Structure 1
Amino acid sequence: MESEGPPESVSSEKSVFFSQQEEDDEEGAAQEPEETVATNPLLQPALTGDIAGLQKIFEDPENPHHEQAMQLLLEEDIVGRNLLYAACMAGQSDVIRALAKYGVNLNEKTTRGYTLLHCAAAWGRLETLKVLVELDVDIEALNFREERARDVAARYSQTECVEFLDWADARLALKKYITKVSLAITDTEKAPGKLLKEDKNTVLNACRAKNEWLESHTEASINDIFEQKQLLEDIVTPILIKMTTPRQVKSAKSVISHGQKRSQEYTFY
């Protein structure tokens, strides 16, 4: 990639990544053949943040590389990395955001299971992490070491990235809980217990309120998020317990006994 003339810092960082991120891999620090990289017109704008240059290639039918734009973008090296990974290494968050609208798979993995999120985490590219999470990438994806991006950030002592991914994980946990509860409440046919309409509305309204809270509190702390999840659990848990408690069905004997008792009461009066 250096043959296209990116800044020296980008070149040196790239070489560090190839030895660092794939350490212990049999593929090691293998790079793309120079002749292949040198002919890729997307490299320079991807590494320098030239959004207009990228858009011209992707959107201008008159551009000589227009028809091959997606192929050029997704062209991989020997370990499965494309130019999106180069953009991550260079911290070009706007490039990632711009290219996402062309339908690229932001959860694609290398041969060792590294995603773009893993890459950004290893390099300490906090703003790139934020963009990827905003674009709903899978923050739970595992590499060949069974590591999430958060684990990779911790391994390379990227403290800010660890803190951000912990925050993102807390938000995801609340979202998943809301979804789980909503599905459980609406699928009452599978519930052995009785669900009153009032209980159903209580839960659905609580879930809706927490979704709105998440949307309106994008800067909330981890503690705030945990607190909101606990408040929701306090509302939902008693109702879910009621749902999972089997209905009590009276036996024929108890019904007859009850009828006889009522009959005796009427006779007494």
Structure 2
Amino acid sequence: MEPEGPPESESSEKSIFFSQQEEEGEEEEDEEGKEPEETGTVNPLLQPALTGDVEGLQKIFEDPENPHHEQAMQLLLEEDIVGRNLLYAACMAGQSDVIRALAKYGVNLNEKTTRGYTLLHCAAAWGRLETLKALVELDVDIEALNFREERARDVAARYSQTECVEFLDWADARLALKKYIAKVSTAVTDTEKGPGKLFKEDKNTILTACRIKNEWLETHLEASINELSEQKQQLEDIVTPIFTKMATPSSQLYIQFPL
């Protein structure tokens, strides 16, 4: 297989998966930048994974009569020297449908290589935009870090994959809204973790706002980064005053009448 990221310069570009060794002087990170030597029998999943033959893959996984059926998962997760399996090959080849199909068999799409690269890092480095979209749809961790403390977005930027950078910025904005909704909902439903006493009216106000924002997310799948940020700010404008009131001693909020 190829390195997790594309070659640093066009002079060292080469066809995906078919070169036998790195060109002299090409700068990659130690073993992760080297192609493993060809040894043994070719993995029977390799060809369908690289060509997008989803039906062929499904036959191997689901047909008990197929000669490779019993070893299908083992073959899929078989790793090279730096911890890359065939899912990485599919990512480098931009085979989004293959990734979606294989995800149904319970594979860990957040698995990391020895240097911390995930499938998302790999797709970002190679500029496979549609594969990035597929992985994000499958709820992979877009905040995962490699050994350089880089997210997939950072790797895309390092390799000048502009469209991937823009998409991952969008995915990050969408995730930020989802996480804030979840955080607020948990805070108001878990009385032990809440910052203070929450009146029923305030609780309903917050939960209603969270529900509305969740519905907005579900119906605005193409919302822009600015729109996502605006929705988050709107929710914060509702929630912050209530949480501030919760954290304020009641003696400062209400006039105490003598009994």
Give the TM-score, by structure 1 length: 0.84
* In structure 2, C-alpha distance between the alignment counterparts of 1:227 and 1:193, rounded to whole Å: 27
Would the alpha carbon gap of residues 191 and 68 (structure 1) be closer, same or farther in structure 2, given more than 3 Å must change? closer
CA deviation map 1:167-207 (0-9, x unaligned): 00000000000011011111224445332111100000000
Match of 1:49 in 2: 52
Q: How does 1:154-165 map to 2 (within 5 A)?
A: 154-165=157-168
Counterpart code for 1:32: P
Question: Which residue of the partner structure matches residue 7 of structure 1?
Answer: none
Q: Are 1:177 and 2:180 an aligned pair?
A: yes
Q: 1:127 to 1:190 in 2, by over 3 A?
A: closer
Partner Cα separation in structure 2 for residue 26 and residue 62 of structure 1: 42
1:64 aligns with 67
Asked if 2 retains the 8 angstrom alpha-carbon contact of 1:73 and 1:84, the reply is yes
1:87 is aligned to: 90
* C-alpha distance in 2 between matches for 1:176 and 1:165: 16
1:35 equivalent in structure 2? 39
- Equivalent-residue separation in structure 1 for 2:196 and 2:33 (angstroms): 59
Do 1:87 and 1:93's aligned partners in 2 also have CA atoms closer than 8 Å? yes
Per-residue displacement from partner, 1:211-255 (whole Å, max 9, x unpaired)? 010011000000000000011111111111112223339xxxx98
List per-residue Cα deviations over 1:19-65 (Å, max 9, x = no partner). 69x954221533334233x4310000000000110000000000000
Q: Which residue of 2 aligns with 1:231?
A: 234
Runs (5+) with no aligned partner, structure 1 = 3-9, 260-269
Alignment-derived partner of residue 6 in structure 1: none
**Structure ID, larger Rg:** 1
In structure 1, what is the equivalent of residue 249 of structure 2? 246
After superposition, the Cα gap between the structure-2 partners of 1:97 and 1:173, relative to the gap in structure 1 and judged at 3 Å, is: same
User: Segments of 4+ in structure 1 off by > 2 A?
Assistant: 13-16, 22-26, 28-33, 188-194, 246-249
Structure-2 separation of matches of 1:189 and 1:136? 29
Residues 194, 243 of structure 1: 8 Å contact kept: yes
Q: Distance in 2 between matches of 1:192 and 1:59?
A: 51
Change (3 A) 1:204 1:111: same
Q: Retained in 1: the 8 A contact 2:195–2:243?
A: no
Q: Which has the higher helix share?
A: 1
Match of residue 118 from structure 1: 121
Equivalent pairs: percent with the same residue?
80
1:194–1:247 Cα contact (<8 Å) kept: no
The 3 A distance-change label for structure 1 pair 15 and 50 is: closer
Distance 1:234 1:226 in 2: 12
Matched, 1:25 2:29: yes
Q: 2:157 & 2:22 partners in 1: Cα distance?
A: 18
- Match for 1:25: what amino acid? E
Which residue does the alignment assign to 2:7? none
Is the contact between residue 185 and residue 210 of structure 2 (CA under 8 Å) also seen in structure 1?
Answer: yes
Matched residue pairs, number? 243
Unaligned 5+ segments in structure 2 are 3-12
Please give the alpha-carbon distance, in whole angstroms, between the structure 2 residues aligned to 1:64 and 1:193.
62
